[in-house]
Structure 1
Amino acid sequence: MLSSTRFGAAFLPRRATVLLSVQFSFGNSAKVLPCSTNECDEFLPWLERKAGIEVSSVLSIGSSTHGRSLFASRCIHSGDCILKIPYSVQLRSDNILPEIQRFLGDAASSHARLALLILFEENLGQASEWEPYISCLPQMGMLHSTVFWSKDELDMVQCSPVYQETIHHKACIEKDFIAVQQVDIIFWALGHLPHYCRDVTFEKFMHAYALVESRAWGTSSKELSLIPFADFLNHDGRSEGTLLSNEDKEISEVIADRGYSAGEEVLISYGKFSNASLLLDYGFTLPYNTHDQVQIWFGMSQFEPFYEMKLELLDKHQIAAMDDANGIETVGNHFTIREVKSARGWGRGIPLSLRAFARVMTATSCQELEDLVREAAQNDGRLARRPLMNKIKEIEAHQMLLERIETLMQGYSPCILSMQLKNTCTENSQLEMRRKMAIDLLSGELRVLRSASMWLKNYCTSLSGG
Structure 2
Amino acid sequence: MLPQSVILANSWWSQTQRPILFSLFHCFYASTNLSTSVSSPKTSHIDKDCNDFLPWLEHKAGAEISSALSIGKSSYGKALYAAKDIHIGDCLLMVPYSVQLASDNLPSEITCLLGDEVGHIAKVALLILHEKMLGKKSKWMPYISRLPQPEDLHSTILWSNEELEMIRPSALYEETLKQKTQIEKDFCAVKLAFDQFPDHFRDVTIQEFTYAYGLVTSRAWDSSRGVSMIPFADFLNHDGTSESYVLSDEGKRHSEVIADRDFALGDEVLITYGKFSNATLMLDFGFTVSCNRYDQAQVELNVPQHDALYRQKLELFDRFRTRSIKDVNEFTSSGNSFTIKEVKRGNGKGKGIPQSLRAFARVLTCNSQQELDYLVTEAVQNDGRLARYPLKNKNTEIAAHQLLLSEISQLIEEHNRYIELLVPNPPYLCGKGLLRRRLAQDLLTGELRVLKSASAWLKNYCSTL
Give distance in 2, aligned partners of 1:84 and 1:351.
40
What pairs with 1:252-271 in structure 2 (closer than 5 Å)? 252-271=255-274
Q: How many residues align?
A: 442
Which residue of 16, 41, 62 corresponds with 1:30?
41
Q: Spell out, residue by residue over 1:378-437, the C-alpha distance to the aligned partner (whole angstroms, 9 max, x if none).
A: 44332212212221111111111110010111111122122112332x322211111111
Kindly indicate whether residue 342 of structure 2 is the aligned counterpart of residue 342 of structure 1.
no
1:360 alignment counterpart:
363
What pairs with 1:397-412 in structure 2 (closer than 5 Å)? 397-412=400-415
Which residue of 447, 452, 455 corresponds with 2:454?
452
- Paired residues of 1:12 and 1:295 also in contact (CA < 8 A): no
Which residue of 109, 115, 118 corresponds with 1:108?
118
1:12 alignment counterpart:
25
Give distance in 2, aligned partners of 1:100 and 1:318.
44
2:242 alignment counterpart:
239
Distance 1:214 1:437, change over 3 A: same
Q: Spell out, residue by residue over 1:101-124, the C-alpha distance to the aligned partner (whole angstroms, 9 max, x if none).
A: 222121322111000000011111
1:177 alignment counterpart:
187
1:149 alignment counterpart:
159
Give distance in 1, aligned partners of 2:34 and 2:383.
48
Kindly indicate whether residue 97 of structure 2 is the aligned counterpart of residue 87 of structure 1.
yes
Kindly indicate whether residue 315 of structure 2 is the aligned counterpart of residue 318 of structure 1.
no
Give distance in 2, aligned partners of 1:286 and 1:128.
36
Deviation at 1:157, TM superposition (A): 1.1
Q: Spell out, residue by residue over 1:213-271, the C-alpha distance to the aligned partner (whole angstroms, 9 max, x if none).
A: 1000012x471000000000001111111101111211111111111111000011111
Distance 1:182 1:300, change over 3 A: farther
Deviation at 1:22, TM superposition (A): 4.5
- Paired residues of 1:300 and 1:332 also in contact (CA < 8 A): no
1:433 alignment counterpart:
435
Give distance in 1, aligned partners of 2:80 and 2:64.
16
Give distance in 1, aligned partners of 2:160 and 2:153.
13
State the identity %: 52
- Paired residues of 2:30 and 2:283 also in contact (CA < 8 A): no
Give distance in 2, aligned partners of 1:33 and 1:288.
27
1:138 alignment counterpart:
148
Runs ≥4 residues deviating over 4 A? none
Kindly indicate whether residue 53 of structure 2 is the aligned counterpart of residue 43 of structure 1.
yes
Deviation at 1:194, TM superposition (A): 4.5
- Paired residues of 1:60 and 1:71 also in contact (CA < 8 A): yes
Could you state the TM-score of these two structures normalised by the residue count of structure 1?
0.91
Q: Secondary structure at the match of 2:303?
A: strand
For structure 1, the residue ranges without an aligned partner over 5 or more in a row are: 188-192, 322-330
Give distance in 2, aligned partners of 1:118 and 1:36.
23
For structure 2, the residue ranges without an aligned partner over 5 or more in a row are: 1-11, 325-333
What pairs with 1:455-466 in structure 2 (closer than 5 Å)? 455-463=457-465
Which residue of 276, 292, 295 corresponds with 2:295?
292
Deviation at 1:34, TM superposition (A): 3.0
Kindly indicate whether residue 210 of structure 2 is the aligned counterpart of residue 196 of structure 1.
no
Amino acid of the residue matched to residue 13 of structure 2?
L
